[in-house]
Chain A
């Protein structure tokens, strides 16, 4: 018998008990659908996460103070002169920006808004891949001349000035007046969990206004992806030597963040796949159970086929094929449902559903494998029947 004939025989038998065949494959359908949707959602989510992280720049790294218990921050921990030194000494470091955060209320001609105010320098635009909508970002002269200028985001501009043009407008920060020189596009990244908008001023303006002399973190950007770890390590060791404080500083790169995100996603995916795998196993046992019932019910048919010249291997292959076809049908339905599920989730979460061909092929092979494995025992039972005993059975 060739495959086409085996297919006809298998389909005839599956069709003769439609409901039972459907219920039998349900376990496989659910298992495969779970695997496909989990993999699709996982891969889509991962792709989106990586894309977002890359927006920040893969060359990005952060230097910060590793505070011990009971320690409080000192202005001397991170200094502007550290940044100047590192940029001069370490060729792998391309950009370096200090960051000092605070919450502030901004007032404009039409309204007011609470923002996260960042003291920084001109390099931040490169380090964080900020996008200018209007005007310009902070520059060196703003810093050295101590200009009272501010860069805000589009939504902030709308709230402060309504429909008026924001460039050149006056913004009152607390009680200090400043001028808008640039507007940045809104941060649309899903990774941005800060509900507040950001506004940027120079370090010197921040110092003059608040009297603080802190740098909370230093953002650096390496010349290339490959030189991130060198740039990071050398910057860190300069800080340690300069402040004579080994172990006092920490550094992390975006690369490391991506790796740990990847690792967590990988573990989650593995756990869910394992659960889906168990459901496939249960489905497979269901298939075996029904195939055993089928062999018992069709004992007479087996006897007739043997009387007409079917060899044991013909019977074995017939039942094995039926089991595989049953599981493959479950696999096909499961793939469609799984893809549909992944598509809905992806739509809701705004990321691309990714079902690679390899996933589909693996799902198919796996369901065929389940059919083969769990069909083997029942098929063997069928093939081992003695013709005369099989014929006598009613």
Chain B
């Protein structure tokens, strides 16, 4: 049976956000972001009938099933695309990064915008172009991040790429369509290439591209994280301002 954790309000101020996080060990909610963990994998036959993405109680929910997972990926790609757009648009982009770094970051900007646009199209097809079921363009804010600081920008890039890889790795097994799995597979390896290259820009030595925080040294396996864990971490980053919920994802 499905256990949904209710989130009463989605528009917390920063102060109430802290207290809410203390209140519940299961749910994660934030300023402009609210999600509830769903701890059930014995879905009944009623699944999918009412789990399409869309507004629920005034907040957009990612939905469940393949479309929910694609919407979740779309949200993460929106974040990455927005971040790198700001990076390459930055006033100090051409002076702060060397030629190689500029080329890498420009490529990441291109790739993430393309991923975002492809996922948007795939979701549009899945929901028959019903605009009510397409996640809106999210709004972002990067409080505390100085886009004129090389180390800070690379650090966020690393976090976003590592998170993206772990997210696709953890969501793949929930996809029911082989076509969707194939598409996710085509994207995740490029995200992983990104993560590797960004890490080596930060630290070219000590095999930092596959350090133990992301690749288990005994098994050689890259991290995999469930959607609830990824969204909790993304919430902690605090960049996504638009409220949403993910009540039907694991």
Say if A and B assemble together: no
Residues in chain B within 8 A of chain A (CB atoms): none
